[in-house]
Amino acid sequence: FFMQDHHCIWINNCVGHENYKIFLVFVLYAATASIYSMALIIGGAVHSAPKDEQSGIDSPRKSIIICGVILCPMALSLATLLVWHVYLVFHNKTTIEYHEGVRAMWLAEKAGGLYHHPYDLGVYHNIVSVLGPNMLCWLCPVSRNIGNGVRFRTSYDIPLSTPPPKAEKHLAMS
């Protein structure tokens, strides 16, 4: 049984509970590599400008510019995809839940209510629910999923805080 969020054209696979962390780490590394490559290409173009006196077809500067033109939209789209999924992780939402939440928020406001996403556990717990409890493994493309992918912890499952012990002692004395 596999809970799916969406089909990703980047990896030609469905992304869901079992492989979301791997997908997220893949996008992180791909965005980092493309931005780093853009920096190298820009540096190469700037550095080769004074030396490039050839104007022929085999000019290294033309190759650098062509690579930059191809890489720029790819780096921009990967960076945008990464920022989008980091936002989703911080709010513990899937892509589908985000779009359904927009509608739920609109309906709640229309009825005079307030919508709260039930799976939002706070930023740290949201990150842990996707990347795992061990911070040293967060950037490793391995998945040790918490749960079975069918039932997830909600903000309603978090126990209410109890009063501090001193307050209980004070209440018992009066």
> Tell me: the pLDDT tens digits for 132-143?
888 888 888 887
Q: What is the pLDDT averaged over residues 10-29? A: 84
Of all residues in the chain, the percent with pLDDT exceeding 90 is 22
Q: Residue 59 carries which side chain, given as an amino acid letter? A: S
Query: Phi and psi of 48, rounded to 5°?
Result: -85, -10
Strand partners, 7: 14
Q: Which residues are catalytic?
A: 8
**At how many degrees (to 10) do helices 123-131 and 60-90 cross?**
110
pLDDT of residue 169: 46
On whether the pTM is more than 0.85, the answer is no
> Tell me: the pLDDT tens digits for 50-76?
665 555 556 677 778 888 889 999 999
pLDDT of residue 166: 53
